[in-house]
Chains A and B, each alone.
Chain A
């Protein structure tokens, strides 16, 4: 026993390293980002409060890219203005004709971004609305440009949203023109990726990509982006489709949280079936 203690003391660095690594692995397997309950809500609230207190400080590094993006947007908007005027006149006439009732498919909550973490690979934003405004985990975050991400943490006054440009993003999507379905993910580049689309399928650069009705997390037909490139994978029947996000994540200031939460019954059924299939595969 004495020798054992002596050995542990002698190699205390190695023993400590092993013990800490075991603790870290246990923590990693024990929890994911959404499983910290009340403690997490306190942290989200605290960080949100601090970020909102210092949100007035401009970011000198991102100013340049923000200005460029705004100038580009200005140009686009002035072009669109002329066509919108024409469209408004047409719209008014058509509405009368069809007795169109303006209906929003879901309620939205507007919020300001008070903090942004778009450094390295941790892409999150903190918004100034939380549980007190009926925001819940899992609600989609959108802007007029399209889908931004999902709420992953809330406190009473603040929420943290995970942006689309995040390793955990997996969105059931479709090409609007040709109705081709796929899963959109992020692989660390500027563009998103839609994979495993057969080469024979009709996909063109410029096609609009929207959320699919198969998605259990997002309402359908929210714009994700446009096809920017199609890459035929050699020695494979499939192609990779690069999707340029419609939203500019570096210039985000205001967002909307759609009051839509995944249907728990559907989620439970899907999880149950997935677990059964996994069990069957394990038995085989």
Chain B
């Protein structure tokens, strides 16, 4: 009985979770376009949709994360006026990578702990590798230079941004 009471509406209906993920993705992509300039440092900004992809990977598993990454990437391509498919590919790969950190029996622990940061860090690294590879491919720019200049910094900033959902989740779990 006690176990039944602990289940929230959110936990009982997976479909509701997916609707929430979709709304969050939409809000984050709008936030990215409108507000991310306010928190960008030297042209480097955190990738909020990637944090969401990693979150979904740890909460739902690799299979769902793949599609979440693809949809988030496509959304990002559309709102950021980028070449359609570039971010979708990078975020699909990021979702796949983050999926390796999924532990079915430790979901709350993963989302409220270091595993989320690790998943965001590793998947962001893979994401930026893929993204910048395709970004510099049609030009004569140096991939290494570009990746070191923007890729690493973006990865670190994205990990810092992931701290906030992790701490919020951890505090709400402790309150319960």
Q: Is the CB of A59 within 8 A of B37?
A: yes
Residues in A neighbouring B41, C-beta threshold 8 A: 61
Q: Is the CB of A33 within 8 A of B81?
A: yes
Q: Is the CB of A187 within 8 A of B67?
A: no
Contact of A121 among B33, B36, B70, B135 (CB under 8 A): B135
Instruction: Provide the main secondary structure of the chain B interface.
Output: helix
Residues in A neighbouring B70, C-beta threshold 8 A: 20, 23-24
Proximity string of chain B (144-174) to chain A, C-beta cutoff 8 Å, 1 when within and 0 when not: 0110011000100000000000000000000
Q: Once A and B bind, how many residue pairs between them come within 8 Å at the CB atom?
A: 129
Residues in B neighbouring A17, C-beta threshold 8 A: 66, 92-93, 96
Q: Is the CB of A28 within 8 A of B44?
A: no
Q: Which of B14-22, B82-90, B109-117 contacts A (4 or more CB under 8 A)?
A: B82-90
Q: Given contacts A50-B30, A119-B40, A153-B81, is CB(A21)–CB(B149) below 8 Å?
A: no
Nearest neighbor of B136 in chain A, beta-carbon distance: A167
Proximity string of chain B (26-67) to chain A, C-beta cutoff 8 Å, 1 when within and 0 when not: 000010011111111101110000000000000000110011
Residues in B neighbouring A44, C-beta threshold 8 A: 81
From residue A282, how far is it (CB to closest CB) to chain B in Å? Answer: 19
Contact of A167 among B37, B63, B139 (CB under 8 A): B139
Proximity string of chain A (39-60) to chain B, C-beta cutoff 8 Å, 1 when within and 0 when not: 0000110010011001001011
- Give Cα A44–Cα B80 distance, bound, in whole angstroms: 10
- Give Cα A152–Cα B82 distance, bound, in whole angstroms: 11
Q: Is the CB of B154 within 8 A of A120?
A: yes
Nearest neighbor of B76 in chain A, beta-carbon distance: A122
- Give Cα A160–Cα B39 distance, bound, in whole angstroms: 22
Nearest neighbor of A250 in chain B, beta-carbon distance: B43
Contact of A120 among B45, B66, B79, B92 (CB under 8 A): B45
Contact of A160 among B62, B81, B99 (CB under 8 A): B81
Residues in A neighbouring B84, C-beta threshold 8 A: 27-28, 30-31, 36
B133 on the A face (CB < 8 A): no
- Give Cα A266–Cα B149 distance, bound, in whole angstroms: 39
A71 on the B face (CB < 8 A): no
Q: Is the CB of A20 within 8 A of B33?
A: no
Q: Is the CB of A13 within 8 A of B44?
A: no
From residue A53, how far is it (CB to closest CB) to chain B in Å? Answer: 8
Q: Given contacts A167-B139, A187-B140, A188-B146, is CB(A119)–CB(B37) below 8 Å?
A: yes
Nearest neighbor of B80 in chain A, beta-carbon distance: A122
From residue B160, how far is it (CB to closest CB) to chain A in Å? Answer: 14
Contact of A25 among B39, B66, B82, B85 (CB under 8 A): B85
Residues in B neighbouring A122, C-beta threshold 8 A: 80-82
Q: Is the CB of B33 within 8 A of A117?
A: yes
Q: Is the CB of B34 within 8 A of A50?
A: yes
Residues in B neighbouring A20, C-beta threshold 8 A: 66-67, 70, 88-89, 92
Q: Is the CB of A43 within 8 A of B79?
A: yes
A185 on the B face (CB < 8 A): yes
Interchain residue pairs with CB less than 8 A apart (14): A17-B92, A17-B93, A21-B92, A23-B85, A24-B85, A27-B84, A28-B84, A43-B79, A54-B34, A62-B37, A115-B33, A120-B150, A121-B135, A121-B146
* Beyond A20-B88, A31-B85, 5 extra complex contacts between A and B, CB < 8 Å: A13-B62, A26-B85, A33-B82, A36-B84, A167-B138
Closest 10 pairs between A and B when the two form their complex, measured CB to CB: A27-B85, A24-B89, A28-B85, A119-B45, A24-B85, A119-B40, A20-B92, A187-B141, A27-B84, A24-B88
Chain B residues with a Cβ under 8 A of chain A: 30, 33-41, 43-45, 62-63, 66-67, 70, 73-74, 78-86, 88-89, 92-93, 96, 99, 132, 134-136, 138-142, 145-146, 149-150, 154
